[in-house]
């Protein structure tokens, strides 16, 4: 099962890489645009911190590291979620989702990797630079345990976001014209640029438990800042696993409702 999944992912990555090489100019323009946005984001932080020393107890270096985690979030959203949502909605409306179910592979996996914006990997590269750089600027030195907790929580946070995304697209099985299924997630994505503690209670709850942007950005960095206990980390990891199980069950229930092109 795992080996089959890995072969499928490799095949779709190769296919999407071919698309990138076919439209090289567009890819270069997208990369340049991304770097310009990064410059603007850093300039915005410098303007904010020219008027204050901390935001919710987070210094400038902390926010640069948090911006790096937000880049990871963006790589997943723009690299996998958005393009596959568009493809999935179109397939349900036109009945071409039948072809996915006819293939001898997991339909959930296939739906998740049909369209991959591979060039979004540049966001991961930026994150790999910004997180350690920001922590260094903040004068923070994480030990091995904190680094392991950070990596585990970052992965768990992305799993939770994926699970929420899966539930939202699964809603199309019940509501065929539900094309705006990830509008809320898209609208709240920018909230990940800042620690959840700076938001009012209602918004903090929204980006932590409803559309859990904060679980993929703020919470992993809290581990590096030494703010989480082992039990809190284990609870987050358990919650991430449970969310994935529930989301997969909802997906399977939705597929049983799908009538296909013949309906």
The model's pLDDT over 138-154, given as tens digits with 9 standing for 90+, comes to 888 889 999 999 999 99
Distance CA 58, CA 66 (A): 10
Q: Which DSSP symbol is given to 120?
A: G
Mean residue pLDDT across the chain: 85
**Closest listed residue to residue 67, CA positions, set 132, 142, 162:** 132
Say how far apart CA 216 and CA 192 lie, in whole Å: 8
Residue pair 65/134 in contact by the 8 Å Cβ criterion: yes
Q: How would residue 263 be classed by pLDDT, with cut points 50, 70 and 90? A: very low
Percent of the chain with pLDDT over 90: 30
C-alpha count within 13 angstroms, C-beta hemisphere, residue 252 = 7
Q: Which residue did the predictor score with more confidence, 24 or 196?
A: 196
This prediction has a pTM of 0.87
Report CA-CA distances (Å) from 128 to 80, 131, 215.
19, 6, 18
Structure confidence at residue 96 (pLDDT): 81
pLDDT of 75-132, one tens digit each? Answer: 898 888 888 888 888 887 777 888 888 888 888 988 988 888 888 888 899 999 999 9
Q: Can you say whether the dihedral through the CA atoms of 29, 30, 35, 39 is positive or negative? A: positive
Beta strand segments in 2-132, E: none
Q: How confident is the model at residue 179 (pLDDT cuts 50, 70, 90)?
A: low
């Amino acid at each position: 099962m795992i080996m089959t999944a890995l072969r499928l992912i490799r095949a779709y990555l190769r296919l999407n890489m071919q698309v990138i090489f076919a439209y090289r100019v567009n890819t270069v323009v997208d990369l340049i645009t991304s770097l310009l946005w990064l410059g603007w984001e850093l300039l915005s932080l410098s303007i904010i911190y020219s008027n204050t020393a901390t935001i919710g107890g987070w210094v400038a270096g902390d926010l640069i590291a948090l911006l790096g985690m937000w880049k990871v979030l963006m790589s997943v959203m723009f690299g996998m979620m958005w393009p596959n949502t568009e493809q999935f909605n179109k397939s349900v409306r036109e009945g071409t989702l039948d072809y996915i179910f006819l293939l001898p592979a997991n339909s959930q996996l296939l739906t998740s990797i049909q369209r991959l914006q591979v060039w979004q990997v540049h966001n991961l590269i930026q994150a790999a630079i910004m997180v350690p750089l920001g922590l260094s600027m903040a004068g923070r030195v994480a030990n091995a345990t904190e680094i392991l907790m950070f990596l585990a929580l970052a992965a768990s946070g992305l799993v939770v976001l994926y699970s929420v995304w899966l539930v939202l697209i699964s809603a199309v099985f019940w509501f065929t014209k539900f094309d705006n299924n990830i509008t809320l997630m898209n609208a709240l994505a920018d909230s990940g640029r800042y620690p959840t503690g700076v938001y009012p209670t209602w918004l903090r709850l929204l980006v932590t438990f409803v559309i859990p942007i904060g679980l993929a950005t703020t919470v992993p960095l809290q581990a590096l800042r030494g703010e989480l206990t082992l039990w809190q980390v284990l609870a987050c990891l358990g919650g991430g696993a449970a969310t994935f199980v529930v989301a997969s069950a909802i997906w399977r229930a939705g597929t049983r409702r799908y009538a296909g092109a013949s309906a």
